[in-house]
Amino acid sequence: MTRYQFPEGFFWGAAASGPQTEGSTCKAHRSIWDSWFAEQPERFYQQIGPQSVCETYSKFKDDVKRMKQTGFNSFRTSIQWSRLIDDFETGAPNAEAVQFYHDYFDEMIANGIEPMINLYHFDMPEALQKQYGGFESSYVTELFSRFARTAFELFGHKVKYWITFNEPIVPVEGGYLYDFHYPCKKDGKLAAQVAFNIMLAHAKAVRVYRELELPGEIGVVLNLTPSYTRNDSEADKKAAWYADLLFNRSFLDPLVKHEFPKELCEILAMHDCLPEVTKIDVDLITDSRVDFLGVNYYVPRRVKARECPYELDYFTPEYYFENYIDPEGRFNPYRDNNEIYPQAIYDIASNIRDNYGNIKWYLAEIGIAMDVESEGPVQDDGVIDDMFRIELMEEHLEQLHHAISNGANCFGVHQWTFIDNWSWINSFKRRYGFWRLDLETGERQIKRNAIWFSELAASNGFTLGAFGKGDK
Q: b/e map of 228-249 (b: 16 or more CB within 10 Å)?
A: bbbeeeeebeebbbbbbbbbbb
Type of residue numbered 119: L
85-89, long-range: CB < 8 A, 24+ apart: 85/28, 85/29, 85/125, 85/147, 85/150, 86/28, 88/125, 88/127, 88/128, 88/143, 88/146, 88/147, 89/143, 89/146
Q: How far apart are CA 369 and CA 375, in angstroms?
A: 10
Question: What string of DSSP letters covers 363-375?
Answer: EEE----B-HHHH
Task: Say which residues have a Cβ less than 8 Å from residue 460's Cβ, sequence separation at least 6.
Answer: 5, 6, 8, 10, 12
AA letter at 313:
D
| Helices within 22-137 (DSSP H only) | 32-39, 56-69, 81-84, 95-110, 126-132
3-state secondary structure of 224: coil
Report the catalytic residues.
167, 365
C-beta atoms surrounding 419 within 10 Å: 25
